[in-house]
Structure 1
Amino acid sequence: MNLEKKIKGKKAKVAVIGLGYVGLPTAVHIAKAGFEVFGIDIKNERVKKVNSGISYIGDVKSKELKEIVKSKKLKAFANHSPLKNSDIILICVPTPLDKTKNPDLTYVKETTKEIAKYLHKEQLIILESTCPPETTRKVILPELEKTGLKIGKDFYLAHCPERIDPGNKKWNLKNIPRVVGGVTKKCTRLAKFFYQSFLEVEIFEASSPEVAEMAKLLENAFRLVNISFINELALLAGRMGIDIWEVIEAAKTKPFGFMPFYPSPKCSGHCIPIVPFFLASKAKEYNFWTRFIELAGEINEQMPHFVMTKVIWVLNLKGKPVRGSKVLVWGVAYKRDVGDTRESAAYDIIADLIRKGAKVDYFDPFVPKLEVSHRIIKKPVLLKSIKYSPQKIKKYDLVLILTDHSGFNYEKLAKNAKLVVDTRNAIKSRKHKNVFWL
């Protein structure tokens, strides 16, 4: 039975390598569609949790995972041996930046070597990890071709960049359109056919994996540049005594030609502050410099410093130094209503507060513990979220809102706090004289 028939009859066995925020929801969704799925991860703890039906990803409920595991449609492994029985392999491994902001493709390369060991005819490999342009063709393909098998004839290779937005209640794996680009036309056709077998969304056929790779980088560079732009304007507006949040509300009344972006203590998370630099790095190979991306990155990295400057200024208004002041950081997740702290401004700001001698606590209902490890402090500091109550707020000299989790009365917070620095416009009323906005 050829691969197309296996996909059509849900007989194809699917391996998902990397069971993180992309891999686990993807594996669950494919299994729910009727395919047998092998989940592969090098972290034993993840494997044990998946096989026990315990979810560690916010977008996957434990009840849902337990039912899938119980039905024997999903099983996790801490090794790559299931690849020999797999018809389709999805690569969902991390692609971080190194210390010099160059893409680190170690996980992709190591995973490709493992796939090559088990590569066989009528096998489809799809890279979902976000990567620099040409990764599919110039990094993955040559390693697989060392086996002697021919691309487009014996095996198939495509790129379909992930588009998961953790915690987004409107847009998720089920309804976000996807982009697929294969090394050959048949690679693209088979990859598209596979995604159509478990997703009811538009699947855009790119003419090459490079187009699909570049599309993902464009999406994220667009966000980084525009958020950094509004952050720069927020700093200017602050100097001029103009409320940038009101400016945005005024500007967005225009029904065309304007898209609102909002200030933040730092553009954080798994994609936006990282992925654009894949493009900046690749551009240098072509003797080209992406100046917008570099400038946006520079502004973004400086935002925690500007927030700290605001904190110092506000405390000084009351004659208080940072040293010895009790500061409550409200929210450490990188965005509202998730427990993900990747690249969060909280790490930079809490480390700086500790270095300057402040007594720091934090509150985040989604993050019970936070280990702050930073180059500016001597050793890691483990913090635990306080239990919130309006009375507890009164004991702090300043409350710093970094994440505006929903479900809280921020007006009441403003009334109970001595001083507030609000980086998210969580407090809408401008009547509070003790509140200062970014």
Structure 2
Amino acid sequence: MMKNVDKFNITMKNKGKNRLKQTVCVIGMGYVGLPLAVQSALSGFRVFGLENDRKKIKKINSGKSPIKEDFLENNLPKVNPNTNPKTGSEKNNNRKTKSSISSTNISSKDSAKIGVGVKIEATADAKVIKKSDIVLVCVPTPVDEKYYPDLSPVKKAVTSIVKNFKKGQLVVIESTVNPGVCEEVVEPIFAKAGYKVGKDYYLAHCPERINPGDANWNVVNIPRVVGAFSKKGLSLAVKFYKKILDAEIYPMKSIREAEAVKIVENSFRDVNIAFVNELAKSFDRMNIDIDDVIRGASTKPFAFMPHFPGCGVGGHCIPVDPYYLIERAKASGFDHEFLKIARKINNSMPEYTVNILQHSLNSIKMPMKGTPIGILGISYKANVADLRESPVFKILEHLQKHDADVIMFDPHVPHMSDVKNIEELLRKSKAVILVTDHDEFKKLDPSIFKKYSIKAIVDGKNCLDKDAIQKYGIIYRGIGR
């Protein structure tokens, strides 16, 4: 059991040499967990990455990021040198390196062999939890088809911790959860096994704030909030995050308030996006360019925060988190009408986008049925390969209702693309819906649409040159412009 906070010193002297003292286990090596694992390793911690995906395990152990992200692609090779697991020699380099984690630690058949010098040991073997001082839970928290929160991944992760319990562990839930989950769901799983929070282990919540594809803000410099069950648990968690991050760590008064922070952050964004999406629908009828209006309003130096409309809200956070607050408040006897309206508006945007295309084609007497429609962008966000809650899937559903022929292309999601490049997509299409504002699409010369005889374009991100496209006699419609 931890006797004092000083145990969180990363290194200690041992016969004149520094050795790793603290071990971190990250459960879930996705967009949240893998950056944390890498940063923990860079900060000197010994790291286990618990993951079920065999291909992902193999890549991580060989120093290759399974996620296309600059931070990961630049830093994972530093902590996991690409070595030959049989000889320990670096690829194209015969020099030997010292190993901080023995490859014999991986016992699961699902785990790939790892080489010398590896500091993050990815594995499917939950027994590594028992070897860890700090456990970070970074699993998804989705909603089901009826938009009801699904906490089963969190419950499964916590159950694994209990089955491989190590006394004195600091357990941190990074997964986004609704207020009360740590107290009403997580802690009871430990209690049922006879483990007392604040005595046998320490429980904290530090809601993740990863922003995929953001070159300026990453796991290292984004400020964090931390809440815990006890003062000591809070102190341990704050001290850990201060060790690995170069950012403000704000201690919350309670673990429940820490849980509420992330839900409020994303509900705030969802509500504001819904507001401009509704304005877009209104301004479409008034012939007002909402993009110009928002940029004009943004010149006010205070009290206005610009948000922009689009063909749908995607990602694992914004379209999901409000439902967690809605359901939790409902259980407490309160009805979040405002949040429900915002969700309804934002969920309507894919259908609205397809309706815009239908009206555009009707104006030139071109039926939707059988018309080849090119989709530019599959991922939910610019310059990433993340498909979670991407609006493209709802857009496809509505296009299929009209029996349209759909062709998709996304340079970041080649395995789902129907063609190899933009030119091939345009050559096979008569109309286009831009779903994702990738840099490759924003840089397109408008003349390319004329070259391939595109009749209509629906710009779902309002990122193309409206005036230039219209000069070529092509129908251009944005969302609210």
Matched residue, 2:23? 13
Local SS of the residue matching 1:99? coil
Aligned amino acid, residue 420 of structure 2: I
- Whole-angstrom distance in 2 between the partners of 1:395 and 1:245: 30
The alignment status of 1:22 with 2:56, answered yes or no, reads: no
Matched residue, 1:373? none
Q: Is the contact made by 1:362 and 1:386 (CA closer than 8 Å) also made in structure 2?
A: no
Local SS of the residue matching 2:80? helix
Question: What are the within-5 Å matches in structure 2 for residues 169-248 of structure 1?
Answer: 169-248=215-294
Matched residue, 1:428? 465
- Whole-angstrom distance in 2 between the partners of 1:3 and 1:19: 30
Aligned amino acid, residue 67 of structure 1: K
Shift of 1:114: 1.1
| Count of paired positions | 425
Which deviates more, 4-13 or 332-341? 4-13
Matched residue, 1:375? none
- Whole-angstrom distance in 1 between the partners of 2:120 and 2:336: 43
Local SS of the residue matching 2:260? helix
- Whole-angstrom distance in 2 between the partners of 1:198 and 1:339: 27
Matched residue, 2:158? 112
Local SS of the residue matching 2:379? coil
Structure 1: give runs of 5+ residues left out of the alignment.
371-382
The alignment status of 1:296 with 2:342, answered yes or no, reads: yes
Q: Is the contact made by 2:408 and 2:425 (CA closer than 8 Å) also made in structure 1?
A: no
- Whole-angstrom distance in 2 between the partners of 1:340 and 1:412: 30
Distance 1:215 1:385, change over 3 A: farther
Matched residue, 1:67? 78
Equivalent of 1:418, from 455, 462, 467? 455
Question: What are the within-5 Å matches in structure 2 for residues 388-403 of structure 1?
Answer: 388-389=422-423, 393-403=426-436
The alignment status of 1:339 with 2:374, answered yes or no, reads: no
- Whole-angstrom distance in 2 between the partners of 1:313 and 1:75: 55
Local SS of the residue matching 2:245? coil
Distance 1:393 1:120, change over 3 A: closer
Aligned amino acid, residue 131 of structure 1: V
Distance 1:392 1:48, change over 3 A: closer
Matched residue, 1:405? 438
Q: Calculate the aligned-residue CA RMSD, in Å.
A: 1.7
Aligned amino acid, residue 202 of structure 2: Y
Q: Is the contact made by 1:3 and 1:122 (CA closer than 8 Å) also made in structure 2?
A: no
Matched residue, 1:37? 47
The alignment status of 1:87 with 2:121, answered yes or no, reads: no
Shift of 1:317: 1.4
Q: Is the contact made by 2:385 and 2:413 (CA closer than 8 Å) also made in structure 1?
A: yes
After the TM superposition, which parts of structure 1 deviate over 4 Å for at least 4 consecutive aligned residues? none
Q: Is the contact made by 1:410 and 1:426 (CA closer than 8 Å) also made in structure 2?
A: no
Which deviates more, 355-364 or 326-335? 355-364
The alignment status of 1:58 with 2:92, answered yes or no, reads: no
Aligned amino acid, residue 67 of structure 2: I
Question: What are the within-5 Å matches in structure 2 for residues 362-373 of structure 1?
Answer: 362-370=408-416
Aligned amino acid, residue 188 of structure 1: L
Shift of 1:65: 2.0
Q: Is the contact made by 2:369 and 2:404 (CA closer than 8 Å) also made in structure 1?
A: yes
Percent sequence identity over aligned pairs = 41
Local SS of the residue matching 1:369? helix
Q: Is the contact made by 1:178 and 1:204 (CA closer than 8 Å) also made in structure 2?
A: yes
Shift of 1:69: 2.2
Local SS of the residue matching 1:142? helix
Which deviates more, 428-437 or 105-114? 428-437
Aligned amino acid, residue 418 of structure 2: K
Q: Is the contact made by 1:3 and 1:123 (CA closer than 8 Å) also made in structure 2?
A: no
- Whole-angstrom distance in 2 between the partners of 1:67 and 1:252: 42
Matched residue, 2:112? none
Aligned amino acid, residue 353 of structure 2: V
Structure 2: give runs of 5+ residues left out of the alignment.
12-20, 82-116
- Whole-angstrom distance in 2 between the partners of 1:385 and 1:174: 37
- Whole-angstrom distance in 2 between the partners of 1:384 and 1:7: 51
Which deviates more, 3-12 or 232-241? 3-12
Q: Is the contact made by 2:35 and 2:72 (CA closer than 8 Å) also made in structure 1?
A: no
Aligned amino acid, residue 39 of structure 1: G
- Whole-angstrom distance in 2 between the partners of 1:397 and 1:414: 10
Q: Is the contact made by 1:126 and 1:191 (CA closer than 8 Å) also made in structure 2?
A: yes
The alignment status of 1:307 with 2:342, answered yes or no, reads: no
1:317-373 deviations in whole A, cap 9, x for unaligned? Answer: 111000111111111111111111111111111232233221211121101123xxx
TM-score of the superposed pair, with normalisation by structure 2: 0.85
Matched residue, 1:162? 208
- Whole-angstrom distance in 1 between the partners of 2:434 and 2:381: 12
1:143-176 deviations in whole A, cap 9, x for unaligned? Answer: 1123333322331110000000000111111110
Matched residue, 2:311? 265
1:181-229 deviations in whole A, cap 9, x for unaligned? Answer: 0011111111000001111110000011111100000000000011011
- Whole-angstrom distance in 2 between the partners of 1:211 and 1:414: 51
Q: Is the contact made by 1:367 and 1:385 (CA closer than 8 Å) also made in structure 2?
A: no
Shift of 1:120: 2.6
Q: Is the contact made by 2:207 and 2:258 (CA closer than 8 Å) also made in structure 1?
A: yes
Aligned amino acid, residue 16 of structure 1: V
Question: What are the within-5 Å matches in structure 2 for residues 274-285 of structure 1?
Answer: 274-285=320-331
Aligned amino acid, residue 52 of structure 1: S
The alignment status of 1:384 with 2:421, answered yes or no, reads: no
Matched residue, 1:376? none
Matched residue, 2:180? 134
- Whole-angstrom distance in 1 between the partners of 2:4 and 2:124: 26
- Whole-angstrom distance in 2 between the partners of 1:6 and 1:39: 22
Q: Is the contact made by 2:447 and 2:469 (CA closer than 8 Å) also made in structure 1?
A: no
- Whole-angstrom distance in 1 between the partners of 2:37 and 2:10: 18
TM-score of the superposed pair, with normalisation by structure 1: 0.93
Which deviates more, 189-198 or 247-256? 247-256
Q: Is the contact made by 1:84 and 1:118 (CA closer than 8 Å) also made in structure 2?
A: yes
